């Protein structure tokens, strides 16, 4: 397994595997035994970067979530590997009460919510320090300076290592980082957004923002990442839930536009030439991308994980990359 550095401060930056494992469904849709098998295989292959959230998966049983963090905590203790794994979790989108959701009743990003969420996640994961903490969604009911201060203090006191954000407008990220710098506090260094080979539409309404989704990597965010070498993109849902390889999994509606067929055709051509699966081509394409991308792929079986790991040994030629990039 290859590794890369996330974070710029020598005191907090970490070496992580170039492929991250998504644990969203562990402990709910994926049972404990299977989850352990996947985690064991990932660690055996040299994987060190595991992603979860404090609200995963609340929609499974109309709870507040936390099942994934709890399972990861049990696995870390049972295997004794907490010191060599990098665990990322998120806060802000945990429902305040069972039977609600992140749209109508989120915990939010007030200083009080940040403190309570960090302490809860550390307890559930069974770790003293959260290696990477993301703000999961925006909270425009709270002054940005309050959130920035609260997050920075968690790093200063040692309960959090690195800070990241997800599903925020690019201007909000830059404003938060500017506030952090002005206050002499740590700021966001890792951005987690949806990124895959297919290109989405950006005008499809999002539950919190009718003007369009803030979860995809668009031109503004891509430009921001290109311009700042201190930032890393963790790309969630790179395989779009199996849509590249399963006939029963249609391409999501925000990818339904005239450019998609040409991209899919190019992808399948390259997969046929290399003898790899389309999923492996997508992950290899991301790993060699000009953007600093760490693909974040989930798995519901060891076989799915092994397919993803196979992308690490797939080398696309410059001509194949050019062809993939040019399709539109």
Q: Which residues are catalytic?
A: 56
| Structure-token pair, residue 285 | 């394409």
* Cα–Cα distance for residue pair 90/166, rounded to 1 Å: 9
CA-based nearest residue to 296, from 238, 221, 229: 238
Q: What is the 3-state secondary structure (H, E, C) of 79-144?
A: HCCCCCCEEEEEECCCECCCCCCCCCCECCCCHHHHHHHHHHHHHHHCCCCEEEEEECCCCCCCCH
| Structure-token pair, residue 289 | 């991308």
Cα dihedral 141/52/103/119 (nearest 10): -40
- DSSP letters of 131-197? EEEEE-S--TTS-HHHHHHHHHHHHHTTSEEEEEEES--HHHHHHHHHHHHHHT---EEEEEEE--S
Strand 160-166 relative to strand 3-6, pairing: unpaired
* Cα–Cα distance for residue pair 284/281, rounded to 1 Å: 5
| Structure-token pair, residue 118 | 């960090």
Partnered with residue 6 across adjacent β-strands are 14
| DSSP tag of 10 | T
State the Cα angle at 167 between 162 and 171, rounded to 5°.
85
CA-based nearest residue to 188, from 203, 200, 172, 210: 172
* Cα–Cα distance for residue pair 35/42, rounded to 1 Å: 11
């Amino acid at each position: 397994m290859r590794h890369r550095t996330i974070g710029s401060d020598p005191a907090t930056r970490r070496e992580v595997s170039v492929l991250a494992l998504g644990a969203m469904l562990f402990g709910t849709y994926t049972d404990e035994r299977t989850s352990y098998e996947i985690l064991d295989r990932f660690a055996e292959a040299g994987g060190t970067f595991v992603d979860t959230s404090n609200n995963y998966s609340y929609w499974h049983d109309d709870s507040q979530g936390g099942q994934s963090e709890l399972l990861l905590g049990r696995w870390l203790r049972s295997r004794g590997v907490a010191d060599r794994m990098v665990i990322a979790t998120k806060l802000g989108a945990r429902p305040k009460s069972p039977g609600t959701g992140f749209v109508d009743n989120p915990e939010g990003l007030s200083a009080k919510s940040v403190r309570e969420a960090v302490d809860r996640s550390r307890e559930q994961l069974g770790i003293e320090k959260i290696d990477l903490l993301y703000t999961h969604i925006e909270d425009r009911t709270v002054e940005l300076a309050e959130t920035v201060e609260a997050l920075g203090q968690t790093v200063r006191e040692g309960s959090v290592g690195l800070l990241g954000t997800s599903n925020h407008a690019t201007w909000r990220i830059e404003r938060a980082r500017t506030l952090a710098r002005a206050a002499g506090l740590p700021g966001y260094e890792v951005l987690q957004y949806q990124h895959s080979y297919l290109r989405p539409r950006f005008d499809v309404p999002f539950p919190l923002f009718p003007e369009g989704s803030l979860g995809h990597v668009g031109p503004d965010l891509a430009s921001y990442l290109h311009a700042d070498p201190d930032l890393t993109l963790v790309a969630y849902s790179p395989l779009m839930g199996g849509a590249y390889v399963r006939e029963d999994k249609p391409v999501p509606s925000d990818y339904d536009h005239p450019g998609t067929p040409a991209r899919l055709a190019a992808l399948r051509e390259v997969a046929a030439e290399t003898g790899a699966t389309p999923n492996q081509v997508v992950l290899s394409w991301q790993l060699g991308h000009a953007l600093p991308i760490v693909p974040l792929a989930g798995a519901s079986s060891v076989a799915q994980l092994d397919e993803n790991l196979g992308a690490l040994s797939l080398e696309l030629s410059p001509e194949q990359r050019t062809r993939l990039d040019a399709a539109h």
